[in-house]
Amino acid sequence: MVKTIKRSNCRCISCGRYFRKEANHKNKSKNDFCSVACYRLYQRKDMKEFNCDFCGKSIIVDRINQRKQEHHFCNCDCWGKWQSINKCGENHPTWKGGRSITAYGYVEIYSPKHPNCTKHRGYVREHRLVMEKHLGRYLTKDELVHHLNGIKDDNRIENLGLVTKHTHEKKTVIKLYKERIISLESMLSNIYSCPN
């Protein structure tokens, strides 16, 4: 049994000639074209000249991209350079105030001018920034900041200890804990020894 395909008469909106089209295809699109050549000719009919938003070079933009795009670029390089200038930091669509938490639980702060920030994102871990502010200098890549209580988002200076990659082992951590306990004990003894 041969299946019959229902066809209907349509008029090409580009060249004006009539042609037959499958009935179920007619409902899918508002515009009918008899061929790909007519479709391309129709798209080129309303082309306009724009200037590239990054380099200013003159470009021709077709009907679809005029409606879809707010900005126009001559190539992907210009688009990427424009994005890196105009869509970073507070102008980025996913901006959350410049503070984020990594998958490991560390807090990061947006600081693109920092010499040790991540190149592609511009973020620096907050505990390193707190320690740098306390010391009055930038940390070297060999220096690590250790959280004394083990809570990675507790970035108070009292909870941070400075170690190096070579000394960051159990002995160093235990030493830092002992120093912290001694300082807390002295603070408590000063509080309770004050006559009231």
Q: How confident is the model over 86-135, as pLDDT tens digits? A: 777 777 777 778 888 888 899 999 888 888 887 677 889 999 999 999 99
Q: Are residues 35 and 77 in the same domain?
A: no
Tokens 């003894």 correspond to what residue?
Answer: 189
Consecutive H or E run containing 131 = helix 126-135
Domain residues for the domain of 37 are: 7-45
Distance separating alpha carbons of residues 159 and 180, to the nearest angstrom: 8
Q: Which two tokens stand for residue 60?
A: 């021709």
Residue 94 lies in a domain: no
Q: Cβ contacts of residue 98 below 8 Å, gap of 6+?
A: 89, 90, 109, 110
pTM of the model: 0.49
Q: Are residues 62 and 134 in the same domain?
A: no
Q: Which of 43, 83, 70, 75 is nearest to 57 (CA)?
A: 75
Q: To the nearest whole percent, how much of the chain has pLDDT over 70?
A: 83
Q: Are residues 103 and 177 in the same domain?
A: yes
pLDDT tens per residue, the chain (196 residues)?
Answer: 555 555 677 888 778 788 877 665 555 566 788 888 888 777 777 777 888 888 888 877 776 666 667 787 888 888 888 887 777 777 777 777 888 888 889 999 988 888 888 767 788 999 999 999 999 999 998 888 988 887 889 999 998 988 887 776 665 677 777 788 888 888 888 877 756 5
Under 8 Å between Cβ of 159 and 149: yes
Q: Which of 34, 59, 85 is the last residue of a domain?
A: 85
